[in-house]
Amino acid sequence: MKLLASLLTAAVLAAPVVPAFASGTAAPAAPQKAAKPDLVKGEASYTAVCAACHGADGNSAIAANPKLSQQHPEYLVKQLQEFKSGKRNNAVMKGFASTLSDEDMKNIAWWVSSKAAKPGFAKDKELVALGERIYRGGIADRQIAACAACHSPSGAGIPAQYPRLSGQHADYTTAQLNMFRDGSRGNSLQMRQVAAKLNDREIKAVSDYIAGLR
């Protein structure tokens, strides 16, 4: 018996150690790193698809079309995806966005965000003071939050959450606030709630202030 026990013990000690995953349980895969944006491809795609309306470097010269330079790339990708899906309703942009893959959108967004934004200018001296009050302090008695709370006092925004506004064309900002207000732009509940409380004069004032913000 002692000899049998010794032989069994020796056999156990000599057996190879088998890793847990060798029995059929796969080893956990190492997380893959997201591919870096390809700025060369981004520039080529931007030039082919976007430049005619938004300017060669993202500084649109057309007041109805937004400046894209120095915008947060995550925000741009989100907007392109929502144009493509129809969550943000714009027939022209849907047509362009529908031709782009997620990789194209990422490459374009990171390329144009790397371009310096050109400053804008406020035009209406009588309204700009009202615009500044709304932007910086909101309208307390109507529970309208200050724009600066989300978009920062300088209009730089908060990356991946709230877009950069400083220097944006007043005509474009006015149009977007009107669309938030009437519900035709529905991809931000927060902005719909804010715009719903603003009248035409206040929208024009804050848009003009933003145009000159830097």
Mean pLDDT over the full length of the chain: 89
Name beta bridge partners: 158.
Answer: 162
pLDDT at 85 over 50: yes
Instruction: Calculate mean pLDDT across residues 40-44.
Output: 98
Cα angle 28-31-35, degrees, rounded to a multiple of 5: 155
Are 211 and 169 contacting, i.e. CB atoms less than 8 angstroms apart? yes
pLDDT at 12 over 90: no
> In terms of Cα–Cα distance, which of 204, 135, 129 is closest to 174?
204
Q: What is the pLDDT of residues 168-182, one digit of tens each?
A: 999 999 999 999 999
24-28, 97-101, 197-201: least confident range: 24-28
Are 75 and 160 contacting, i.e. CB atoms less than 8 angstroms apart? yes
12-16, 102-106, 114-118: least confident range: 12-16
Are 203 and 111 contacting, i.e. CB atoms less than 8 angstroms apart? no
CATH of 39-113, one of 1.10.760.10, 3.40.50.880, 2.170.8.10, 3.40.190.10: 1.10.760.10
Total residues belonging to the chain = 214
Residue ranges covered by each domain of the chain: 39-113, 125-211
**What fold is seen in the domain 125-211?**
Cytochrome Bc1 Complex; Chain D, domain 2 (1.10.760)
pLDDT at site 35: 83
pLDDT at site 144: 96
pLDDT at site 6: 46
Q: Rounded distance, CA 16 to CA 14, Å?
A: 6
CA 143 vs CA 52, 136, 191, 196: distances in Å: 40, 14, 13, 11
